């Protein structure tokens, strides 16, 4: 059961990643840049006004937070199963509150 939930979540993440990859490719194509060139431009503070630089840094921070949250919320079925077994409860007890 936990493995099925994990597989479903993993599939959803793969779909989201594929969608983001397509969007990124479209953006890079429209800008006529490679990913490396875009990273170089976005890492050069001298190319931006102080306000633009703050926006870029805030965006980077927000994206990293979202990634960290998704990774923290990803379930590990083996860890969950081991935790349940360590409680030494009968299987029906999992459904009781």
- What are the structural domain ranges in the chain? 2-95
Q: Could you tell me which residues come within 8 angstroms of residue 19 by beta carbon, excluding any fewer than 6 positions away?
A: none
Q: What number of other Cβ atoms are within 10 A of residue 92's Cβ?
A: 7
Q: What is the pTM of this model?
A: 0.56
User: How many angstroms separate the CA atoms of 73 and 69, rounded?
Assistant: 6
Distances (CA, A) of 8 to 5, 74, 76: 5, 11, 12
Please give the pLDDT value at position 12: 85
User: How many angstroms separate the CA atoms of 58 and 52, rounded?
Assistant: 10
pLDDT tens-place string over residues 37-95: 988 998 999 999 999 999 999 988 998 888 788 777 666 666 666 666 666 655 555 55
The closest alpha carbon to 5, from 56, 67, 97, 81, belongs to 81
Take residue 66 and report the two structure tokens written for it: 């979202």
């Amino acid at each position: 059961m936990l493995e099925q939930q994990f597989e479903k979540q993993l599939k959803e993440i793969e779909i989201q990643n594929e969608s983001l990859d397509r969007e990124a490719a479209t953006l890079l194509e429209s800008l006529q840049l490679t990913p490396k060139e875009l990273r170089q431009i976005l890492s050069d503070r001298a190319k931006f006004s102080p306000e633009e630089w703050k926006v870029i840094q805030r965006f980077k921070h927000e994206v990293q937070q979202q990634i960290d949250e998704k990774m923290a919320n990803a379930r590990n079925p083996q860890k969950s199963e081991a935790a349940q077994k360590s409680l030494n409860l009968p299987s029906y007890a999992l459904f009781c509150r």
